[in-house]
Chains A and B, each alone.
Chain A
Amino acid sequence: MKGDEVTREETTPRRNPFSAIGHGFDLTRDWWEHAKVWQRYLVYIAAIVFALILPAPAIGSFMSPGADWTTVLVYPVGTYILLAIGLNVVVGQAGLLDLGFVAFFAIGGYNVAFFGTHYGWNYWVTVVLGIAMAAVSGVILGAPTLRLRGDYLAIVTLGFGEIVRITANNSDVIGGARGITNVPHPPPIFGEKFLLDPAPYYYLMIAAIAVVIIFSVRLQKSRVGRAWAAIREDEDAAELMGVPTFKFKLLAFAIGAMIGGLAGGTYAGKAVFIEPNTFPFILSATILAAVVLGGSGNLPGVIIGAFLIGWLPERFRDFAEYRILVFGGVLVLMMALRPEGLLPSRRRKAELREGTGGMGAMGAEVAGPGTEASTEVAK
């Protein structure tokens, strides 16, 4: 992206096992930045074609020998990608750590399930309503809390995620701990019926992901995206430069929440059955792991991260019970070795390396070999 050129010279990558991936990616990105419009459109078309042939049985037999590949592509892979793009708006672009993202997923899902079963509303109406409700709850959560320090925000959002889950568990109107069964499927589009066959859901998921990607990229390149980057890098400076930081943070929260709500609605249409334990804290952490692993702030990286985190446990089912253990270990290792993720955005990489961006450096640090002492310990 054009705006990222500023920081390109400043980073000297350290030698570590991931460097090679990063270098190859940098070359690709250089090509992409100077690519012609028709070249870019070729890539877009290739990506869409790739997405459409992905559920082919030939690919599935290798990717997922143990389970139906198309089903795996809808949940977890597609759902995780959708959620990760949403969380990326909040964490990657605006730099706000949200540990309760699953709450918006739950709100979207419960809206579809509740209004679909109790009032028999049209699926699409309930999805839109779910998105709206998620946005509203994002604002309700954000308005009082977004003035907080970054790390407090993380805990409050974590608390919010738990409040939503426990409330769902304790509210008999929405089924309490038993949840809601017989959630209606989406009505047919173009004669394509949504029943047990996962393929239509997959195409629906692809459409949702495509829309969200376009939305997210356009946002990132807009005034809003630049404001988020400024807030992420130095909130005080952004405020002084006339960026209304609180409004933009609230907007990031609302937009992230909307995408989460959309993911919930799409998921509920396929799932038939929804209960509070579909939305545990560990799902928030998993999506966060996907964003961080892929490279928070960089959309291709985030998508690949979400794909890996959704797909690997399904592929290696023998080790599936160890997957959460591995996520935890990977998060710690990534932060120690490559905090910017596998495919970072250049700007974000520079921030994380310098140790001055985002929420400020950890206090009580003394310059180690090869690093300069941070001048803003007291931040």
Chain B
Amino acid sequence: MLQDFLNQILPSTVGGLVIGSIYALVALGYTMVYGVLRLINFAHSEIFMIGTFASLVLLTAIAPAAPATFGIAMVGTLLLCMVVSAVVSGGAAIVLETVAYRPLRKRGATKLAALISAIGASIFLQELFALEIIPWLTDKPGRNQASAPRFVPRDELFHIGNAAVRLDHVIVVVAAVVVMVALDQTVNKTRIGRGIRATAQDPEAAVLMGVSIDNIVRITFLLGGAMAGVAGALYLMEIENTVFNVGFVLGIKAFTAAVLGGIGNLRGALMGGIVLGLIENWGAIFLGSQWKDVIAFVVLVVVLMFRPTGILGESLQRARA
């Protein structure tokens, strides 16, 4: 047992970092919306799913049989995928906000109503994709897995102990960190970011100071959606297939990551994602990979029991607690 663990700990760590980076990117969307609206955007997982399909369509169009080699073309394709997915997902998030949440927000509806609306939107989007959009995009039954062509080679770059670190691993982690630093700077340094933080702290005072809440909420959804889009592009590059309900379990795990780091806290989301990815992969060494999801859910319950404010605390909303 111990020998197994020692043999697998390093490869599992690499895998955990990679999937954890993707959790972290998706977690940002949950965290930002929660920070501003105090709402669990349950349909965020579908925004991620839309991001994977945006990349899938783009890849099948531009790289049908291109050999997977490292070069300008690969970097260009990767960037294009990330940008297109971010735009599509961000747009979808804005539509989602307008249709599912805005009417409720205007009326001052209860959180329960908003959460049910979010669940409805999530189910609706999944089924819409399964029944109509995926068959139309891929000419295959909508509930089947759709696989993407490989465009990033699986070259081993270097070894850490017995763990091979491949090019795609590095790309996922580096891209995720770069995007997250950009978001962090946006929220902390720009005028829009100040509006977001002000709204998170005290919406009424923010309105009195001339912040347009509607715009801020829309931008929050846009930014969160764009992060999920980037996550979708990276996920598709790494896993190479997607399905209409790909967001369901991943979404819950990303939410777990957000809670783990402290919901409302952007840096916490990064940390929470990585920690969750590592725990899940390490736990799978002992219990087997079919228990990964259970491990993640148990982590969620345990964190909420003992430290509901997360490891780093709930910073976007600290002033309101």
Cβ-neighbour of A377 out of B39, B203, B216, B217 (below 8 A): B203
Residue of B36, B106, B199, B202 most packed against chain A (CB within 10 A): B106
Query: In the complex, which residues of chain A have a beta carbon less than 8 angstroms from the beta carbon of B111?
Result: 150-151, 358-362
Contact with A along B168-211 (1 / 0, CB 8 A): 00000000000000000000000000000001101110010000
Contact with B along A329-350 (1 / 0, CB 8 A): 1111111100100000000000
Contact A331 B116 (CB under 8 A): yes
Contact A170 B124 (CB under 8 A): no
B79 CB-CB contact with A under 8 Å: no
Cβ-neighbour of B300 out of A155, A321, A327, A361 (below 8 A): A155
CA distance A308 to B205 in the complex (A): 45
CA distance A324 to B127 in the complex (A): 7
Residue of B40, B119, B248, B308 most packed against chain A (CB within 10 A): B119
Query: In the complex, which residues of chain A have a beta carbon less than 8 angstroms from the beta carbon of B116?
Result: 97, 288, 292, 331, 334-335
Residue of A363, A377, A378 most packed against chain B (CB within 10 A): A363
Cβ-neighbour of A336 out of B103, B124, B199 (below 8 A): B103
Q: Closest Cβ of chain A: how far from B28's Cβ, in Å?
A: 17
B284 CB-CB contact with A under 8 Å: no
B231 CB-CB contact with A under 8 Å: no
Query: In the complex, which residues of chain A have a beta carbon less than 8 angstroms from the beta carbon of B293?
Result: 162-163, 166
Tell whether A324 pairs with B123 under 8 Å between CB atoms, given A144-B301, A159-B297: yes
Tell whether A368 pairs with B115 under 8 Å between CB atoms, given A155-B252, A325-B128: no
Specify the chain B residue showing the minimal Cβ separation from A154: B115
Cβ-neighbour of B308 out of A97, A148, A154, A329 (below 8 A): A148
Query: In the complex, which residues of chain A have a beta carbon less than 8 angstroms from the beta carbon of B128?
Result: 325
Tell whether A332 pairs with B115 under 8 Å between CB atoms, given A166-B294, A170-B291, A325-B128: no
Q: Closest Cβ of chain B: how far from A216's Cβ, in Å?
A: 20
B137 CB-CB contact with A under 8 Å: no
B120 CB-CB contact with A under 8 Å: yes
Residue of B110, B249, B300 most packed against chain A (CB within 10 A): B110
Tell whether A365 pairs with B123 under 8 Å between CB atoms, given A151-B40, A288-B116: no
Q: Closest Cβ of chain A: how far from B78's Cβ, in Å?
A: 33
B265 CB-CB contact with A under 8 Å: no
CA distance A352 to B252 in the complex (A): 27
Contact with B along A355-379 (1 / 0, CB 8 A): 1111111111111100111100110
CA distance A228 to B254 in the complex (A): 32
Query: In the complex, which residues of chain B have a beta carbon less than 8 angstroms from the beta carbon of A81?
Result: none
Residue of A148, A162, A371 most packed against chain B (CB within 10 A): A162
A124 CB-CB contact with B under 8 Å: no
Specify the chain A residue showing the minimal Cβ separation from B103: A336
B166 CB-CB contact with A under 8 Å: no
CA distance A319 to B301 in the complex (A): 39
CA distance A292 to B123 in the complex (A): 15
B104 CB-CB contact with A under 8 Å: yes
Contact A327 B109 (CB under 8 A): no
Contact A145 B120 (CB under 8 A): no
CA distance A27 to B308 in the complex (A): 46
Interface bracket on A: 35 or more
CA distance A335 to B113 in the complex (A): 6
Query: In the complex, which residues of chain B have a beta carbon less than 8 angstroms from the beta carbon of A155?
Result: 40, 252, 255, 259, 300
Cβ-neighbour of A325 out of B104, B105, B131, B199 (below 8 A): B131
Tell whether A152 pairs with B297 under 8 Å between CB atoms, given A324-B127, A331-B120, A378-B320: no
B125 CB-CB contact with A under 8 Å: yes
- 8 A Cβ contacts from B117-161 to A: 117, 119-128, 131
Tell whether A335 pairs with B114 under 8 Å between CB atoms, given A362-B37, A364-B38, A364-B213: yes
A269 CB-CB contact with B under 8 Å: no
Q: Closest Cβ of chain B: how far from A352's Cβ, in Å?
A: 6
A11 CB-CB contact with B under 8 Å: no
CA distance A334 to B100 in the complex (A): 11
Tell whether A332 pairs with B113 under 8 Å between CB atoms, given A362-B38, A365-B203: no
Query: In the complex, which residues of chain A have a beta carbon less than 8 angstroms from the beta carbon of B113?
Result: 335, 339, 352
CA distance A145 to B304 in the complex (A): 8
Tell whether A362 pairs with B105 under 8 Å between CB atoms, given A144-B305, A155-B255, A292-B116: yes
Contact A367 B117 (CB under 8 A): no
Specify the chain A residue showing the minimal Cβ separation from B292: A166
Residues of chain A having any CB pair with chain B under 8 Å: 95, 97, 99, 144-145, 148-152, 154-156, 158-160, 162-163, 166-167, 169-170, 281-282, 285, 288-289, 292, 321-322, 324-325, 327-336, 339, 351-352, 355-368, 371-374, 377-378
In addition to A158-B252, A160-B297, 5 A-B residue pairs with Cβ atoms within 8 Å of each other are A159-B301, A162-B297, A335-B116, A365-B108, A373-B204
